[in-house]
Amino acid sequence: MKIWHSTYQLSLKGPANSHAKAKFRKGALLRVRFNDKNLIGFADLCPFSEMGDQPLELELKHLVQMKPSDIGARSLHFARIDALARAEGKSVYDSKVRIKNHFLVNDLMKFETSRLKKIEADGFSEMKIKLGRDLQIETERLEQICKQASSQLKFRLDFNSSLSRERFVNWFEKHQSWLRPKIEFFEDAFAYDAREWREVSERWNLTLAMDFVAPEAKLKSEGAAVIIVKPAVEDETRIIKSVHNQKKKFVFTHYMDFPVGQMAAYQAAQSASAELGERLMSCGLQHHDLYEGLTFQNEIKSDGPYVLPPEGNGFGFDRLFENLKWVELN
């Protein structure tokens, strides 16, 4: 196997979540030549330090040593999917499978409530909102949005485990009169503990969704009714298989990574959709202006809550890949 890379820097328009402080993210696109039949495929490698990944330089070093981390192994996994499709001159996407997505509000305080009508008119039925930076002020804005939105629009609140159990419960009890009718689920409301999540979900009849937890926790997902899957860093097939006899629902999301990684997550969701059926909820596979302008992003179109994949072989982006400067890893 031989690997080339082309580094990039993503410029965030606002904070990525309540943990993230950096305004930039460093990553690399990979060009991988596999030993069998000299297949060549492309993938993304976009470490997220706030989520426990190592710096890009170390992730690349592990690839050279053939000792990839979880995120590195997933990059190679998608590079092979891309390579196999390119060898056959076809796309990895299934045009018959459409994956619906929620609308992401990354910075609630910058969100203009006047946008609600258009968002709903465009076909979005779920909105994911990240909270936890200044909960008191955010709650006031959230209440305004909930009251202005129609009864058809449901909200997914993501706290990135920024609250304690006690603070979350107190907050919910104080505001549940207007929260309960509008909320689809609470994501990472407080740090994961199987017993505490189970107790809170049962006592208050709440739907809890898990994302930022230890990999093995997702294989059991006690106390969580919804599992957030990030194909960039975890094997979705292993997770689905581990809870196949439970009534878990799934949401596939990107890793706030480069558009190539975004589309790899989209392909993974498409592949899982047949097995999951109605257990696959609206996903989070659209960027919604997370970063300053990216040429690659222009290749991805949208039809309201639906992604329109780029044309070309494999994951697409053929011309753009050809124009990059590639440096061999050694």
Strands (E), the chain: 2-11, 24-33, 40-45, 103-105, 126-130, 154-158, 183-187, 208-210, 226-229, 249-252, 301-303, 306-308, 327-328
At residue 288, the pLDDT reads 65
Query: Facing residues of 308 across strands?
Result: 301
Do residues 162 and 133 both lie within one domain? Answer: yes
| Longest CA pairwise span in the chain (Å) | 62
pLDDT tens, residue by residue, 179-188: 999 999 999 9
Beta carbons of 282 and 101 less than 8 angstroms apart: yes
My answer on whether 164 and 278 are in the same domain is yes
What pLDDT does 22 receive? Answer: 64
For residues 265-286, give the mean pLDDT: 97
> pLDDT at position 294, please?
81
Does position 18 have pLDDT exceeding 80, yes or no?
A: no
Q: What is the pLDDT of residues 142-183, one digit of tens each?
A: 999 999 999 999 999 999 999 999 999 999 999 999 999 999
Tally of domains within the chain: 2
Mean pLDDT (whole number) for 114-128: 97
Tell me what pLDDT residue 87 has.
Answer: 96
Q: What Rg value do the Cα atoms of the chain yield, rounded?
A: 20
Q: Is residue 141 part of a domain?
A: yes
DSSP 8-state code for residue 53: P
Side-chain half-sphere CA neighbours of 135 within 13 A: 17
CA distance 302 to 317: 16
Query: With contact defined as beta carbons under 8 Å apart, do 227 and 239 qualify?
Result: yes
Specify whether 78 is located in the same domain as 180.
Answer: no
Check pLDDT > 90 for residue 264.
yes
Whether 37 has a pLDDT exceeding 90, the answer reads no
- Percent pLDDT > 70 in the chain is 96
Residue 98 lies in a domain: no
Could you give the angle at which helices 70-87 and 259-276 cross, rounded to 10 degrees?
80
Instruction: Tell me the C-alpha distance between 262 and 133, whole Å.
Output: 25
pLDDT at residue 60 in the model: 97
Instruction: Please report, as a single letter, which amino acid is at residue 46.
Output: C
What pLDDT is stored for residue 215 in this prediction?
Answer: 82
Structure tokens at 25: 């993210």
Average pLDDT, the chain: 94
**Domain range holding 204?**
103-308
CATH code, domain with 154? 3.20.20.120
Tokens of 218: 């997702």
In terms of domains, do 289 and 323 share one?
no
pLDDT of residue 16: 54
Q: pTM here? A: 0.94
Shared domain for 321 and 232, answered yes or no, is: no
Position 293 pLDDT exceeds 90: no
**234 in Cβ contact with 217 (< 8 Å):** no
What's the CATH number where 22 sits? 3.30.390.10
* Residue 96 burial (CB count, 10 A): 6
- Alpha carbon 209 to chain centroid distance? 13
The reported pLDDT for the residue numbered 49 is 86
Query: Is 36 found in the same domain as 139?
Result: no
Of the candidates 64, 65, 29, 71, the residue with the CA atom closest to the CA atom of residue 48: 71
Claim to verify: residue 322 and residue 206 sit in the same structural domain = no
Per the CB < 8 A criterion, the answer to whether 252 and 229 are in contact is yes
* 53, 257 contact by CB (below 8 A): no
Q: How big is the chain, counted in residues? A: 330
Q: Tell me the per-residue pLDDT of 48-100, one tens digit each, with 9 for 90 and over.
A: 988 889 999 999 999 999 999 999 999 999 999 999 999 999 999 999 999 99
Residue type, 305: P
pLDDT on residue 20: 54
Residue 138, beta-bridge partner list: none
Same domain flag for 132 and 169: yes
Assign 3-state DSSP to the chain and report helix, strand, coil percentages, each to 5: 40, 25, 40
**In this predicted structure, which of 8-22, 117-131, 158-172, 260-274 has the lowest mean pLDDT?**
8-22
Quick check: 21 pLDDT over 80?
A: no
Same domain, 130 and 233: yes
Q: What is the pLDDT of residue 50?
A: 81
